[in-house]
Chains A and B, each alone.
Chain A
């Protein structure tokens, strides 16, 4: 199946497209009527999940330092675990990325979006039989934001000043308006725990579709079905086994021999080989994650915008996607937003590889000599290869890039966000506001391009509180242009999430939120046989 048709099929499965629309659009994408009709049947039939069975997943990213405490989740493995046993107040929609209700039934902002009232769902039971109360919700959010917090979500929740129970509703008061607040609460750390998890953060008691049966850090985790789940549209299997497999070849062998039903992080270099296995289906999802080359706008020689432009034009994006991502990705345009975000700014010209323009700006910058780029394989998969490729394309523009390969150990504390020109990656954020606030606001801790622009900051804060979507979109357009044309970010590619399943499981949803169907993979898959 080609990408658009596969996308339509998954929307049929997710009840988002009817027969007429599906067949029309698939034919427009090149399918015959007969093929489209049969595919619709298959995709619609896939709506009827089978229940029961034991689902096994082989996952990269687990470590013996993992803990159940969702505040300290930092690996891919614990991310997917949290989704199994817990729920957040809000979820993000798999295809639109908009906020949809979960433990919060509905919400309402005040006029300037600085005070939000959430209605908490009634009749939800924790795994230990206790009923979910507003108290649990307030305490959970307190634990992630109080002065002793070691939570990974602390940065996200920085603007929350008040967490209160007002007549059974959750009321959040912010230091300034934020139209995107509900989506911030979909962060995977913010699993609602009984009593906020103050007593025993590692208990693993939540409201999710599976209960933790056994957890050995860095080895495996097993789950059994929560019979009292408040939702019926998830958690189809009786039990789940998640095994830590940090070796890419081991994951591929386990999947192709049928020992596991799902693996994550398929290496783009070997995905072609895996495709040949008859019982395997590759699941790719366009993501918001991106691989970047970052320059500090305030450090010589990168404080010169002509040099930055020269380095941007010297990047051959198409080749990067083809060689480094094996085709599993999309080209970037030097601002950290792609069309999977709500209010994506359309109509911005795609920057292309142009050695002449690069040479022109390089000459204009007056820079003499080579440019030092630091990289390491931990920056992103294939980062060293990407740097060498970049060196070659820049050479054609007369720019000499010197590559310094740094040790992977300690790269994030010594090179990234420290050295003036390096390679790195970003995972996506739920909203444009959050992406920009995390790394492009002057005062951001992670302003890894040292992008200090007061106009930009002003628009960002205005857009955050703006409830008029059209105006907001206009503002995001302006901000994207500022970062693209004056920032220190070279963004050659957005990487797809490449996962794989065996052919005897169904229900995988292409969720733009994050890798592994936004972590919900085990709650969404079911076994066919």
Chain B
């Protein structure tokens, strides 16, 4: 029996045989869209469930019944929740995220700026912390249970054990207040010269590096050690390879999947989870932007931020899976 559905299934199966990776990516992307839609429903419902609507919270203690009514009418807040949701969704499908209720400016325009700032900071923090963490992890394995390993472990664990705002304050006190060599506050703005921009983010980047370093370094160390105890590493040693070369050539590629996963999680954190660092260093990123919007229930902004954060997580996790599959032939051809 050749029903159409079976035909599709067969085609899919054949595609999977010939282009396993493309099929996987297409499937994941399809699922992501579904996930993003679910996220938007959750956020919308969540903000609705919060006490007080935009008109009340925006006017705060200076609200009068008339001004509240005027704002509600202006924004159409008095209409049913489903109408408002589908109206918003209709806009998004056409690429229009709407205007911020508070400022009246297009959300896309504001978010581009803030997201740019967040990515700028995250990029430099990642560019320093990822190679550093992986490198230190390898060094730690090489000197396992000896002094360098211990020092790396203790220092990185101490850094992760301190809350990030505390690391931030310590850096500010020493480098900005006492020595006066670092730029503080780290406010960046339009048309800021590139060199000043880099100087401004020095302290927040250092803070973020310290916060994410230990996690990635320890995972690198643990993954390599587990690979090291396998039989093929013994063979490598027996055939006369030097210890460091054996780690780089044989252990690292096999240990890559768990490391890449941890790296992806930390990268996502660097983009979406650094609101505390933003506040301490007065850095205008996405985190503070979303918190401000939630405080006054500015729905279009909250939604857009939520979707971007979700998309960052989904994409980075997908990238991690793809890297793991590419690095490991066994995953590439599942039986």
Contact = CB atoms under 8 A, between A and B. Distances in A.
Interface stretch (A41-49, A60-68, A123-131, A388-396): A60-68
Interface stretch (A85-93, A214-222, A350-358): A214-222
B293 A249 contact: no
A154 interface: yes
Sorting the interface of chain B by its residue count into under 10, 10 to 19, 20 to 34 or 35 or more gives 35 or more
17 contacts: A74-B58, A150-B67, A150-B70, A150-B74, A152-B62, A155-B64, A202-B104, A216-B113, A245-B282, A246-B279, A247-B279, A249-B280, A253-B177, A254-B282, A410-B51, A412-B60, A414-B52
Interface in B137-179: 169, 172-173, 176-177
A217 B104 CA distance: 12
Given A67-B103, A257-B176, A257-B177, A154 B184 contact: no
Given A64-B110, A413-B52, A216 B58 contact: no
Contact of B292 (A63, A155, A253, A259): A63
A148 B75 CA distance: 12
B265 interface: no
Contacts of B56: 412-413
Contacts of A202: 104
What band does the interface of chain A fall in when counting residues whose beta carbon is under 8 Å from B?
A: 35 or more
B64 A154 contact: yes
Contacts of B59: 74, 152
Contacts, number: 125
A244 interface: yes
Nearest to A277: B177
Given A65-B298, A148-B74, 13 more contacts: A149-B66, A152-B59, A152-B67, A218-B284, A249-B169, A253-B176, A253-B184, A254-B185, A256-B177, A257-B176, A257-B177, A257-B180, A414-B52
Contacts of A410: 50-52, 57
Contacts of B51: 409-410, 413-414
Contacts of A492: none
A445 B65 contact: yes
Q: Give the secondary structure class of B's interface.
A: helix
A523 interface: no
Contact of A65 (B70, B100, B172): B100
Contacts of A259: 176, 184-185
A257 B184 contact: yes
Contacts of A257: 176-177, 180, 184
A68 to B, nearest CB: 9
Contact of A247 (B71, B100, B176, B282): B282
A64 B185 contact: no
A353 B176 CA distance: 46
A67 B282 contact: no
B18 interface: no
A65 B301 CA distance: 10
Contacts of A446: 61
A243 B284 contact: no
Contacts of B289: 64, 218
Contacts of B177: 253, 256-257
Given A74-B59, A410-B57, A154 B67 contact: yes
A58 B187 CA distance: 11
B295 interface: yes
Interface in A377-431: 409-410, 412-414, 416
A372 interface: no
Contacts of B128: none
A152 B58 CA distance: 11
A218 B184 CA distance: 17
Contact of A243 (B65, B176, B280, B282): B282
